[in-house]
């Protein structure tokens, strides 16, 4: 196919040779991109860094975000309380506020939403 194209360029003359070469370059440039995307990077997903601006925009305080991370790691309120040296009551308050700010009904949903918002790592 490549040789047919080059033969065709000989027939049409030198006038549009630059355009043909440029066309080939563009085609293979695109092929290179798509090959790389579909073959070599078949098993990748984009992972952006944590969006600190979005955390602020949501009105999440430093402590609330800290609690959110622990929730996402699978800890119970009591376990988080012990880890952060506060009462379970305090964690409950934080979690409640987190749910409101993330518009979630449950902590599991909060985790999902937080990840979609790129507030939490995967």
Which residues make up the interface to DNA (CB under 7 A)? 59, 61-64, 76-78, 81, 84, 86-87, 89-90, 92-96, 99-100, 105-108
57 binds, among DNA, a second copy, none (CB under 5 to 8 A by kind): none
CB contact at 8 A, 55 and 65 = yes
Which of DNA, a second copy, none sits in contact with 86, Cβ below 5 to 8 A by type? DNA
The residues binding a second copy (CB under 8 A) are: 2-3, 5-6, 9-10, 14, 17-18, 21-22, 24-33, 35-37, 40-41, 43-49, 71-76, 104-113, 115, 122
* Beta-carbon count within 10 A of 96 CB: 10
Pick the closer one to DNA by CB: 20 or 92. Answer: 92
For DNA, the closer CB: 103 or 116: 103
* Minimal distance, residue 61 CB to a second copy, in Å: 21
Q: At what angle do helices 62-72 and 107-116 cross, to 10 degrees?
A: 110
Query: b or e along 45-74 (b: 16 or more beta carbons within 10 Å of the residue's beta carbon)?
Result: eeeeeeeeeebeebebeeebbebbbbbbee
Of 9 and 90, CB closest to DNA: 90
CA count, 13 A, side-chain hemisphere, 38:
6
């Amino acid at each position: 196919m490549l040789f047919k194209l080059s033969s065709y360029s000989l027939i049409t003359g030198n006038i549009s040779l630059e355009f043909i070469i440029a066309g080939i370059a563009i085609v293979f440039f695109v092929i290179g991109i798509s090959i790389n995307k579909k073959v070599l990077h078949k098993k990748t997903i984009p992972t952006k860094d944590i969006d600190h601006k979005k955390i602020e925009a949501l009105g999440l305080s430093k402590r609330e975000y800290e609690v959110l991370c622990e929730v996402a790691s699978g800890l119970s309120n009591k376990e988080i309380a012990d880890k952060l040296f506060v009462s379970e009551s305090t964690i409950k308050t934080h979690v409640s506020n987190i749910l409101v700010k993330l518009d979630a009904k449950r902590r599991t949903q909060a985790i999902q939403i937080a990840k979609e918002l790129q507030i939490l790592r995967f």
